[in-house]
Structure 1
Amino acid sequence: MIKPGNLFHISLLILFTGIFNYSYSRVRTPKELNTCKAILINNVLTLENDYLSRSYNWNNGDLISTQLTDKKNKHSWLLNGNKPDCILPGSGKAESGSLHVEAVAATSIAPAYLRAQVEVKFGSLFVRRVFRIYPESPAIACDFYLKGSVNEKWASTNVNVGDLINIEKIEAIAQGKANAPVIENLSLPGKHWRLNSVEFFDVTDRRNNLVQEYQQLLYNGESRMKGNLLFINDVLSDKGIFILKESPTAEAQLAYPGFDFLARWGNIQAAGIGVLPSDIPKNEWVRCYGFVTGVTAGSTLDRLSALRSYQKNLRTHLPGRDDMILLNTWGDRSQDKKIGLDFSLNEIRAAHKLGITHFQLDDGWQTGRSAASALSKGSFEGIWKRRDYWLPDIKKFPDGLSPLVNLGKKLGIEICVWFNPSQDSSYVHWQDDAGALISLYNKYGIRTFKIDGVHVMDKQSDINIRKMLDSVMKVTNNEAVFNLDVTAGKRYGYHYFNEYGNIFLENRYTDFGSYYPSWTLRNLWMLSRYVPPQNLQIEFLNNFRNTDKYAKDDLLAPSTVSFGYEFALTMMAQPLAWMEASGLPEKAYSITPTLKKYRDIQSKLHSGQIFPIGEEPSGTSWTGFQSILGNQGYLLVIRERNAQATCAVQTWLPAGKKIRLQTELGQGKNTTANVDKEGRVTFSLPANNSYALYHYQIIE
């Protein structure tokens, strides 16, 4: 409900439908939300903005989609289903429904949006759907909340399609159905649809292939697909729809039914809500997984841009808070052996010399010992048995962290720390964990925290970790930034908890021979098609170390590229200096002017929609990224190890145009260039493993 003193006057109508209904919910919105509407009239609920409109049969609050319209491209789909969009097995018939609409004001981490809340009662189960309508997005999001109880198991029936009986008996189709919650239901007309599902993988300590795409044509037999993202494209036109499931990756989802999407002629569903009936509290709302449905038309770029237009609303990107070149010493494998006052002060001085903006103390700054300690045996459990666990180690830091913070302020470097929440009893100590972080903020002004060691094994863990993060955000007035580690365990993936900061993507080490610049580039390149790369921390290492850990004839070893080239590969993301800066040789500091120039343009670079260009990185490709800002933007062109001094690189630029290229960094030259009919631009770079960052302007 709206609290007194809010800027916006909300006119609230709670609706109970009967045999005949004529109801209208109107909200007086701020100017930026004038195009966003949620209207219920004559049993039809319509949600819309300037980009799309979606209509539902109100059905006593148990919504049934009837029409989806792409307003910009003047195209509508009549959705001819007769089943509700949300199907929760065993829930029964809807008894009453209500609608509550309010304007949500912008904050420092989220833009303004219209919130349309639909609540419905099914016997003893209560369902709340919160639709988020943003003014400049071709998509509408829906968050689910449940409370009460339901007397049925929610599970998957994993049927092998080869075991189904002859298709002439139409009832055979139903044998493949799973008793899983359905959160989105599109009864699309026609048979000619191409489906492209995208599955994502984290646990990057064990994986080096993070994106997998699956393509198929819609058919009469039920098809089950994995992935957080599904593109549904009309074969006979350029029109399409996408569904984004806002959840962890398939392997990390709770109560996972074994798939994310179900498809057959006339029906496409998103499945899996992230809870089992036993997880639902009787009297308190529990937040579940949600989804986003959007409309697309035109080219591949148009489809990707539609998705990215929604994603930008998940966290407002502020230059002074969210952009960083962060130094973390763990990448040189000293673990917690060196961490202490003198070492840390030297690291801050070296970081300043290099051009770093943030210095992060990893595991070892605290009094307690973790399971990863190289000094003594520790644990990630039982942390709060000792109340001084998260206080600075007085032996290492006699005056606390103040000397580091003071030197950092003097040199323009923000001090950050690593933190591992207590795993006990599904994170039951979340308030203590939040208090430890808030104490660091209040005492030292530390606001950037790497959150590590998390295992979300049950719904209570998910709930308590979110409570911890939300508490810190509230007390710090949304100043906190969390680097959410996805390197191990069941964690958040790429489409969940996005409002809290950025993603610490991977641990790679020259000590183990697991770091290759081309592999890191490939992971960023693959993800950047569907995940904003400016939300990812991407590492570059001290490649002067451990040359003996790689074969002498390994032409892709880190030592075969320059230190500056390594850094360049991270520029479209949040660069992570994964090293001890004080251990760098003097020649490494030749890249300082590059880092300083990059800092001047980093926020502008990251303000665009960034997508991959060229070939998939392999160590021998011409590849790169494009940041699109209307008729201008940036091109990062990368020549890996190959014999081609010149290459026509596939871009997202419009065919037949002429562009002006101004070199910002690297080995490019100021010039003009033509975009060929395929959207390619020809670039020249003088040597293997070289790059150029250009600002481009379309001039004709």
Structure 2
Amino acid sequence: MKTLLLSVVCTLIGLNLCNAKTRLKDCEAYLKNDTLVIRNSQVEQKWLWNKGNIELLSFKNENTSSALSWKKENLFALGGSGFTKNVAFEIDRNRGDIFLPDHLAVYIENQHGNVFSKRILRIFPDVATISCDYYLKYEHLKTGFEEEQHKADGTEKHQKKHKKLQKSHAFAVGFDSKHWQIKTVNFKDATDIHDNLVYETTSIPYRSSEKRQGNLLIGEDLVGQSCFFLLKEAPNTASQIAYPGFDFEVSQGGVRVPFSGFPLQGRGDEWIKGYTITMGLAENQAGCLLALRQYLKASINYDPKQYEMVMMNTWGDRGQDGKISEAFILRELEEAEALGISHFQIDDGWQQGLSANSVHRSGRLWDAWTPENWMPNKERFPNGLTKVIKSAKKKGIRLGLWFHPSNENDYATWETDAEILINLNKETGIDYFKIDGVEIPTKEAAINLERFFEKVKKETNGDVFFNLDLTAGTRGGYFSYRPYGNLFLENRYTDWGNYYPFRTLRNVWTLALYFPPELLQVEFLNKWRNAGKYPADDLFAPGNYDFNYLFAIAMVGQPLAWFEATGLPAEAGSVAETISKYREVQADFHSGSILPIGDEPSGRSWTGFQSITEDGGYFLIFRENSSRSAAEIQTYLPAEQQVSLHKIMGDGSGEELILKVTSDQRLRFQLPAENTFVLYRYTKVD
């Protein structure tokens, strides 16, 4: 990352240079005596320097009474390779680039026998978190765990277990109290086979350690008023490289994060990056969730001009590439304009090389492609993409294309693939690319795929935006590739009878507690297709919902019109007014911290979302197939707060309402019928 201001560089000979405070906006860091301090207007961490083998001493929230002291525990320990010496120490004012916004970074490089470690502690302005990137340089790595088989003991069972060799961890904090409640959250992608995407486990640790799976750990002090979280910015458990079988080891003594993301064999003098660990602090779980949300948005360059979209992709009608042609796309663009669509993406089939998903038997390509394969198909687009681009531009619609990087030999041709997209962008002005078919089985594949993304972003000055498919394969999950674009969440099809609107709502609702839903593409389908694929008495079949309601489910994310517009009946045109109203407030709605409220969607619940800004926000409320005409829903507003509600769209009563929050933080909402919704903008009333 380019550093525009002079770095403060400290060596073993001159650590006194870092006594001076290095500042960037509200962030500052310095080393004084034997204490390393990193802070901003929200939080402060103090570390025992310990000759460079740092140990966390305290973590304080500057705006609440939350403060935690920690037992001494080396942040990093490698069994069999003790700490040798500190090699380098540096504090940088890092000005933003196309990947990260402005932030302050503390670099610590140490030697542990024959292994070298580099930690980068990052703090972003006005966010209550501090992140730790870590890198290793080695020939052979012994991470402290190995698999062994149980010996025969007469019980006739055979299983694997992890044997702890010596104390070893990539990140650790030591508890200074026995009384903690620990929640871990495990996420699922590969949504073609998973439809329950969030799993929570809660317990109170005891003396013996427990091994937990999940990207997120939330620890609540049962004595004081403090709550912290650890976010492991890695693929989901099934997709991590060199995964030891768990993500966190928890006991009364503290939390350790085992090594993962590192192959046994190193790359000589080349640094290998592990998975970033981000730590946040608040006074309760609600505060932790808000801090997590703020970090996930503030640590990327969320530009509404790039991120906000109502995209159409015709693949959802299961025509595959059978209809893809210049004439078909031009007709689709006409209908898309009438609906108010902002982005149109041509999925698999625009290219000369036909994939294995083609309706044509000649389609066989999947793992290996050539540049010639990625020319516009000569038969389907005899004029190239010229007419399509001209039509889209005239209509104010931004175009996107489908792309499958060659994953053969661990993305060995990543540079060639990057050049394909760079040239497409330069020649056509197309900025949006759906990335599909990804498989990341090895560290080499992970490194090369990241090189592919970074080269494209750098050489297009950040103009290219990726829609990253999460539906199948061994992929990056929810947290690995956030700087590159948004996430294509799921494929659901009426053809297969597996599209149920309440289940889509449920998936987004459960994810939204921990992940910004505005970073997800959320589909809505043509409800009139394939009615016969659903039982006549199926209460939750898509045909039982208003089309505007289906669109409203997607509004909390980036709506994805997963159908052919030319296949819609005339009555579907009524959604255009809803889309128009939504696009007027979309960026503002997504600018808040969006969290789920109400009951978990079940098809019969009162449920919804609250978008929280400093002085107001939005409520998106759904009455599913519930007999209750009103419901009191718990919110994130203060007790007894008066709020003014202005209806943006939907079925709620009254254009303007004044409501008062109850003592247990609830508001009463009314909707006139089953399967209706309303979107309100609210402001706090003094």
Q: Distance in 2 between matches of 1:62 and 1:396?
A: 62
Matches within 5 A, 1:403-482: 403-482=387-466
Q: Distance in 2 between matches of 1:156 and 1:663?
A: 59
Query: Are 2:49 and 1:58 aligned?
Result: yes
Q: Distance in 1 between matches of 2:163 and 2:140?
A: 23
Query: Are 2:45 and 1:49 aligned?
Result: no
Contact 2:181–2:203 under 8 Å retained in 1 = yes
How much identity, in percent, do the aligned residues show?
A: 38
- Which deviations, in whole Å up to 9, do the C-alpha atoms of 1:378-402 show, x marking residues without a partner? 3455634x43111111111111112
Contact 1:156–1:258 under 8 Å retained in 2 = no
2:12 matched to which residue of 1? 16
1:167 matched to which residue of 2? none
Q: Give 5+ residue unaligned stretches, structure 2.
A: 154-160
Q: Distance in 1 between matches of 2:668 and 2:146?
A: 51
Contact 2:371–2:417 under 8 Å retained in 1 = no
Contact 1:60–1:97 under 8 Å retained in 2 = no
2:312 matched to which residue of 1? 327
2:110 matched to which residue of 1? 120
- Which deviations, in whole Å up to 9, do the C-alpha atoms of 1:498-519 show, x marking residues without a partner? 1111000000000000100000
Query: Are 2:677 and 1:691 aligned?
Result: yes
The alpha-carbon deviation at position 179 of structure 1 amounts to 6.4
Out of 31, 54, 60, the residue aligned to residue 40 of structure 1 is 31
Contact 1:447–1:480 under 8 Å retained in 2 = yes
Assess, with a 3 A threshold, how the Cα gap between structure 1 residues 11 and 436 changes in structure 2: closer, same or farther.
closer
Matches within 5 A, 1:599-678: 599-668=583-652, 669=654, 670-678=656-664
Contact 2:187–2:236 under 8 Å retained in 1 = yes
Tell me the TM-score normalized by structure 2: 0.95
Assess, with a 3 A threshold, how the Cα gap between structure 1 residues 249 and 158 changes in structure 2: closer, same or farther.
farther
1:198 matched to which residue of 2? 185
Query: Are 2:252 and 1:265 aligned?
Result: yes
Query: Are 2:83 and 1:87 aligned?
Result: no
Assess, with a 3 A threshold, how the Cα gap between structure 1 residues 544 and 309 changes in structure 2: closer, same or farther.
same
Q: Distance in 1 between matches of 2:568 and 2:179?
A: 58
Contact 1:198–1:213 under 8 Å retained in 2 = yes
The alpha-carbon deviation at position 487 of structure 1 amounts to 0.6
Contact 1:261–1:270 under 8 Å retained in 2 = yes
Higher mean displacement: 417-426 or 316-325 = 316-325
Amino acid at match of 2:559: P
- Which deviations, in whole Å up to 9, do the C-alpha atoms of 1:170-190 show, x marking residues without a partner? xxxx99636695222111111
Assess, with a 3 A threshold, how the Cα gap between structure 1 residues 2 and 302 changes in structure 2: closer, same or farther.
closer
Out of 662, 668, 672, the residue aligned to residue 682 of structure 1 is 668
Out of 102, 111, 125, the residue aligned to residue 101 of structure 2 is 111
Contact 1:370–1:378 under 8 Å retained in 2 = yes
Amino acid at match of 1:598: Y
**Secondary structure of 2:372's match?**
coil
The alpha-carbon deviation at position 56 of structure 1 amounts to 2.0
Amino acid at match of 2:608: G
Amino acid at match of 1:262: E
Query: Are 2:218 and 1:231 aligned?
Result: yes
- Which deviations, in whole Å up to 9, do the C-alpha atoms of 1:129-170 show, x marking residues without a partner? 11111121111011111223245365455899xx9xxxxxxx
Out of 234, 240, 251, the residue aligned to residue 247 of structure 1 is 234
The alpha-carbon deviation at position 405 of structure 1 amounts to 1.1
Q: Distance in 2 between matches of 1:179 and 1:448?
A: 48
Assess, with a 3 A threshold, how the Cα gap between structure 1 residues 451 and 179 changes in structure 2: closer, same or farther.
farther
Contact 2:311–2:342 under 8 Å retained in 1 = yes
Matches within 5 A, 1:4-403: 6=4, 8=5, 10-16=6-12, 22-24=16-18, 26=20, 29=23, 33-81=24-72, 83-107=73-97, 110-150=100-140, 152=142, 155-157=145-147, 177=164, 182-278=169-265, 280-298=266-284, 300-381=285-366, 383-384=368-369, 386-403=370-387
- Which deviations, in whole Å up to 9, do the C-alpha atoms of 1:585-643 show, x marking residues without a partner? 11101110110111111000000000001110000111010001122100001001111
Q: Distance in 1 between matches of 2:106 and 2:526?
A: 50
Contact 1:157–1:177 under 8 Å retained in 2 = no
- Which deviations, in whole Å up to 9, do the C-alpha atoms of 1:633-690 show, x marking residues without a partner? 0000100111111111222221112211110010122211121112111111111110
Q: Distance in 2 between matches of 1:377 and 1:423?
A: 20
Higher mean displacement: 373-382 or 586-595 = 373-382
2:544 matched to which residue of 1? 560
- Which deviations, in whole Å up to 9, do the C-alpha atoms of 1:283-312 show, x marking residues without a partner? 1122221100111104x3212111112111
Q: Distance in 2 between matches of 1:407 and 1:306?
A: 43
Tell me the TM-score normalized by structure 1: 0.93
- Which deviations, in whole Å up to 9, do the C-alpha atoms of 1:548-596 show, x marking residues without a partner? 0000000100000011110001111000000001111111011101101
Contact 2:371–2:420 under 8 Å retained in 1 = no
Contact 1:331–1:508 under 8 Å retained in 2 = yes
Contact 1:14–1:99 under 8 Å retained in 2 = yes
Q: Distance in 2 between matches of 1:151 and 1:467?
A: 23
Amino acid at match of 1:293: M
The alpha-carbon deviation at position 543 of structure 1 amounts to 0.4
Higher mean displacement: 664-673 or 506-515 = 664-673
Q: Distance in 2 between matches of 1:343 and 1:85?
A: 58
Q: Give 5+ residue unaligned stretches, structure 1.
A: 164-173
Amino acid at match of 1:349: E
Q: Distance in 2 between matches of 1:121 and 1:363?
A: 49
- Which deviations, in whole Å up to 9, do the C-alpha atoms of 1:269-291 show, x marking residues without a partner? 1223311221x211112222110
Amino acid at match of 2:193: R
Q: Distance in 2 between matches of 1:358 and 1:141?
A: 34
Q: Distance in 1 between matches of 2:476 and 2:602?
A: 28
The alpha-carbon deviation at position 95 of structure 1 amounts to 2.6
Assess, with a 3 A threshold, how the Cα gap between structure 1 residues 78 and 649 changes in structure 2: closer, same or farther.
closer
Q: Distance in 2 between matches of 1:667 and 1:311?
A: 32
The alpha-carbon deviation at position 74 of structure 1 amounts to 4.3
**Secondary structure of 2:392's match?**
helix
- Which deviations, in whole Å up to 9, do the C-alpha atoms of 1:487-539 show, x marking residues without a partner? 11110111111111100000000000010000000000000000000000000
Q: Distance in 2 between matches of 1:159 and 1:665?
A: 61
1:511 matched to which residue of 2? 495
The alpha-carbon deviation at position 25 of structure 1 amounts to 5.4
C-alpha RMSD of matched pairs (Å): 2.0
Number of aligned positions between the proteins: 675
1:171 matched to which residue of 2? none
Amino acid at match of 2:43: L
Q: Distance in 1 between matches of 2:602 and 2:336?
A: 31
Q: Distance in 2 between matches of 1:180 and 1:430?
A: 38
**Secondary structure of 2:387's match?**
helix
Assess, with a 3 A threshold, how the Cα gap between structure 1 residues 179 and 392 changes in structure 2: closer, same or farther.
farther
Higher mean displacement: 324-333 or 61-70 = 61-70
Q: Distance in 1 between matches of 2:54 and 2:94?
A: 23
Amino acid at match of 1:313: A
Contact 1:199–1:229 under 8 Å retained in 2 = yes
**Secondary structure of 2:71's match?**
coil
The alpha-carbon deviation at position 318 of structure 1 amounts to 1.5
Q: Distance in 1 between matches of 2:355 and 2:626?
A: 45
